[in-house]
Structure 1
Amino acid sequence: MPEAGSAAPPGALVRTLLRSGTPAEPTEADDGDLAAVGDATLARASRYWVVVPLAYRIAAFVKVFIGFTAANGSLGLGPVLGATVFAVVADTAATIWVLRSGGLRARLTTRALGLDLAVGVVLNFVVATTAPTSVQPFAVDVSWTWLVGTVAMWAGTCGLPAALWLFAAAVPLRAALTLAGGLPLSHQLALTRSIGCLVALAVAIVIAVAILILLGVGTRFAVDIGLRRGREAERRRTRRIMHDNVLQTLEALAIAAPGDDAQAATRLSELRSVAKAQAAELRQRITEPVPTGATRGFAVELADVATEMARDGLRTQLVAADFADDRKVSQDRRTALVEAVREALRNTVKHSGTNQVVLRVEERDGGIAVVARDQGQGFDVRDRPPGFGISQSIVARLAEVGGRGTVDSQPGRGTRVTMWVPG
């Protein structure tokens, strides 16, 4: 049974793309609906699809014009040069407009494709009727380049059926161009060049469809990977919340303190206060949106963490004299660094055997570094594998935002935790 929110099979997606082309317009989609998210992403990308055939026509017109002049010299140069200049200028202007306007929107697609087709037909008839009869089939080869790009546009935007209808209509159109130039349909050169023009359309359809399939399937797979990684990141975040808040609170509640029996009422009041504070913090983390900008200085946030740890008996000396608190660091990186510092201080409380720690914040390597150093009992980092707190709440958390965390410790010589995020 497929996972909820999973994508439709690639075969179904390919059939849909071949039948209808790329989605016309992005739609709002729930992040859990993979198919809808993929369609919305594909629709945004497909707004720029027409840039591909436009760029092709710019390059192809120059190429076929050079080939025409090399084979025929100045004979028929006027109409062919005019068609080439018009096509290059028009396609360049269209490309710039599409890129600057954010792609070809759905409401303009039908009119734009219809106008492009009409311009291509007129351009071919102008060249066919003005070029000398002796070179007319070669001249039409040049102007036919416009229609090759047109068919590719229709194939990618409207699907394979629309492109096949245009291909079928191209047969009588090519015959009409031959007659408009004063040549009989049985003329050997005209017949040969007509077949070549139709083959060019067929090749354009095949290539356009292949690109369309790659674009669609690639987009769907990319969204699939992105959502799966997002779900995994959310699971890691939930585990960290459980570890950094719920588990820490439960462990604190379970620790026996001297005089618990004699001061049961006081001890119970303290436990309730701790539980209430942790419940409020947990609720805030779960329900409130992630802030988009920093409103307080980073050193102030670290001071709040130090104050929080003081409730557990940890005396923190915060050194930030050489730190300029105006460095622009994203909120995600600030949050990750603050949470990593909190976990490092909690580890000091639980494992170091000392109640004092020095917390130094400084600018380093183009980012912010915080070093937590205690003179506790330390440990051998080679013999003791890192637990969840170090591996996930510090190292992995910082790595996710492009930072790093390292732990240096030796028995009897304390522990130093270095945490860094880029600016």
Structure 2
Amino acid sequence: MPEAGSAAPPRALVRTLLRSGTPPEPAQPPDENSDLAAVGDATLARAARYWVVVPLTYRIAAFVKVFIGFAAANGKLGLGPVLAATVFAVAANTAAVAWVLRAGGLRHRITGRALALDLAVGVLLNFAVAATAPASVQPFAVDVSWTWLVGAVAMWAGTSGLPSALWLLVAAAPLRALLTLAGGLPLSDQLSVTRSIGCMVALAVAIVIAAGILILLGAGTRFAVDIGIRRGREAERRRTRRLMHDHVLQTLEALAISAPGDDTHAVSRLSEVRSVAKAEAAEIRRQITEPVPSGTTRGFAVELADVATEMARDGLRTQLVAADFADDHKLSQDRRTAMCEAVREALRNTVKHSGTKQVVLRVEERDGGIAVVARDQGHGFDVHDRPPGFGITQSIKARLAEVGGHGTVDSQPGRGTRVTMWVPG
């Protein structure tokens, strides 16, 4: 049994799209509490705004193609009305594509009126060509103007579903007969009958293709949303693990370290434990409850100085070198946060593993971004023999990679460790 709030089965989604076309946008956009179906439908509705661009673009190319074919087969005979129809169609559809793209797609509330107007223009264009083209080439001339109706049927199939498109297909048969009569030809004219069948087949093919594109659009959108939600959940799990590692676990390890004179300085040690626990509890509460800030007026170097000051309570002396760094607030808030958290983890590793209480922290502009290098002269280690732990792989490398950056660790036994962290500007 599917879980409550899960996405509709693929077959149900396909049936809905074919029956009703693309869904309208919801009155209220989905939020973080919305289920997969709501998010998928809203995303599909936004993508469907641009559905009409496909048949409009088809018309532009198809009108040019069929006009060239008509001119090659008939020469100058009937060229005037067919050329005028082609020029009008190419110009009108080009303007329509430009308008749809500039307006951010065709909104659902005006789709019905827009498609009705488009269909009316197509019918009038066909009657104009049928009435003005010479009788000997009239069926071929109508073939050219019929291209407009092929695109119109595809639009209706995509926005209103297959029933609407099938009704138009049925109505197209008497319309094609009226076009034959408008040109002064009898309905029994063999050439007109042959070309009429070809026009009806073109409409049927357009409906089939539109249905296929509609299915791919719906299934592709739902698949993309599903992947996005899965990745979002995985990112949230990584964030939770980092929060546990970078704050809770680090605090517990710091509290577990016995300091000299614990028995004789129990009061001061207890006070220190309380201070550390209180500070970490406040930081965890802030990260859980506070919204992500959209911007900051503080310089990036100042934020790094705050991290260094925080680590001073663990006895680490940090020399911050930022003389050559022009802090002009280039970094986004996400990249600032990722960099500061990565630097904090690098400094904690220095405290825990290097055997030294001194580190140099250099910030500079490099390769179109911002680099921070943490260098100590501690014990060092062989990066080939000692696999990186969670702190390096997740709290530094993976965290920076999520914002487009990277982190590297260079170390040798007896020669200290250098951690280089970079994010694009």
Q: 1:23: which partner in 2? A: 23
CA deviations over 1:48-84 (Å, ceiling 9, x no partner): 1111111111111111111112111222222212211
In 2, Cα distance between equivalents of 1:83 and 1:138: 13
Residue 317 (structure 2) aligns with? 315
Secondary structure class of the residue paired with 2:307: helix
- Can you list the C-alpha shifts for 1:237-261, whole angstroms capped at 9, x where unaligned? 0100111011111111111122222
Q: For 2:420 and 2:2, how far apart are their aligned partners in 1?
A: 44
Give the C-alpha shift of residue 8 in structure 1: 2.0
- Residue aligned with 2:364, SS: strand
User: Among residues 64, 71, 75, which one is paired with 2:66 in the alignment?
Assistant: 64
Corresponding residue for 2:89? 87
What is the CA-CA distance between 1:176 and the residue it aligns to?
A: 1.4
Instruction: Verify the 8 A CA contact 2:53 2:100 in the aligned structure 1.
Output: yes
What CA distance in whole angstroms lies between the structure 2 residues aligned with 1:323 and 1:4?
53
Amino acid at match of 2:29: E
Counterpart contact for 2:293–2:333, Cα < 8 Å: yes
Counterpart Cα distance in 1 of 2:83 and 2:371:
64
Query: Which of 265, 273, 277 pairs up with 1:275?
Result: 277
Q: Deviations over 1:296-323 (max 9, x none)?
A: 1111111111110110111111111111
| Cα deviation 1:147-169 (Å, max 9, x = unaligned) | 00100100111111110110011
Q: How does 1:297-312 map to 2 (within 5 A)?
A: 297-312=299-314
When normalised by structure 1's length, the TM-score is: 0.97
Change (3 A) 1:418 1:338: same
- Calculate percent identity across the aligned residue pairs: 85
Q: Which runs of 5+ in 2 are unaligned?
A: none
Whichever residue aligns with residue 21 of structure 1, its letter is G
Could you say which residue in structure 2 is the equivalent of 1:381?
Answer: 383
In structure 2, what is the equivalent of residue 9 of structure 1? 9
**Secondary structure of 2:388's partner?**
coil
Could you tell me which amino acid in structure 1 is paired with residue 7 of structure 2? A
Instruction: Check whether the contact 2:405–2:423 (CA below 8 A) recurs between aligned residues.
Output: yes
What is the DSSP-based 3-state SS (H/G/I as helix, E as strand, rest coil) of the residue aligned with 2:359? strand
Distance 1:226 1:4, change over 3 A: farther
Name the aligned partner's letter for residue 74 of structure 1: K
Distance 1:112 1:268 in 2: 74
Q: What are the equivalent positions in structure 2 for 1:18-417 lying under 5 Å apart?
A: 18-26=18-26, 27-31=28-32, 32-326=34-328, 328-417=330-419
Q: Deviations over 1:267-309 (max 9, x none)?
A: 2122111111111110000111111223211111111111101
Contact 2:130 2:183 in 1 (8 A): yes
Task: Tell me the SS of whatever aligns to 2:291.
Answer: coil
Q: For 2:138 and 2:412, how far apart are their aligned partners in 1?
A: 88
Contact 1:378–1:413 (Cα < 8 Å) also in 2:
yes
Alignment check: 8 A CA contact 1:128 1:139 kept: yes
- In the TM superposition, residue 30 of structure 1 has moved relative to its aligned partner by 3.2
Contact kept? 2:300, 2:329, Cα under 8 Å:
no
Q: Which amino acid aligns with 2:274?
A: R
CA deviation profile, 1:85-111 (whole Å, cap 9, x unmatched): 221121122111111111111111010
DSSP-derived class of the 1:311 partner = helix
1:81 and 1:381 map into 2 onto residues whose CA distance is 73
Partner amino acid, structure 2, of 1:344 = A
SS class of match (1:360) = strand
C-alpha contact 1:30 1:36 (8 A) present in aligned 2? no
Q: Distance in 2 between the 1:311 and 1:77 partners?
A: 88
Q: Secondary structure at the match of 2:137?
A: helix
Paired with 2:2 and 2:301, the residues of 1 have a C-alpha distance of: 48
8 Å CA contact 1:402, 1:422 repeated in 2: yes
Conserved? CA contact 2:173–2:200, under 8 Å: yes
Secondary structure of the residue aligned to 1:339 is helix
Please state whether the residue corresponding to 2:360 is helix, strand or coil.
strand
Q: TM (normalized to structure 2)? A: 0.97
Q: Number of paired residues? A: 423
Greater CA drift, 120-129 or 3-12: 3-12
Assess if the C-alpha contact under 8 Å between 1:137 and 1:178 holds in 2: yes
- Separation of aligned partners in 2, 1:359 and 1:51: 54
Q: Note the aligned Cα RMSD (angstroms).
A: 1.4
CA distance in 2, matches of 1:94, 1:383: 64
Q: Give 1:3 deviation, angstroms.
A: 5.4
Residues 117, 150 of structure 1: 8 Å contact kept: yes
Amino acid aligned to 2:202: A
How far does residue 7 in structure 1 lie from its aligned partner after superposition? 2.5
Decide which moves more: 55-64 or 148-157. Answer: 55-64
CA separation in 2, counterparts of 1:132 and 1:110?
35
Q: Secondary structure at the match of 2:136?
A: helix
Question: Which residues of structure 1 form unaligned runs of 5+?
Answer: none
- Partner Cα separation in structure 2 for residue 114 and residue 349 of structure 1: 72
- Contact 2:150-2:206 at 8 Å conserved across structures: yes
Measure, in 2, the Cα distance between the counterparts of 1:25 and 1:176.
39
**Distance change >3 Å, CA 232–CA 262, structure 1 → 2:** same
| Alignment deviations for residues 321-352 of structure 1 (CA, whole Å, 9 cap, x no partner) | 11111151222111111100000101111111
Task: State whether residues 299 and 329 of structure 2, in contact with CA within 8 Å, keep that contact through their aligned partners in structure 1.
Answer: no
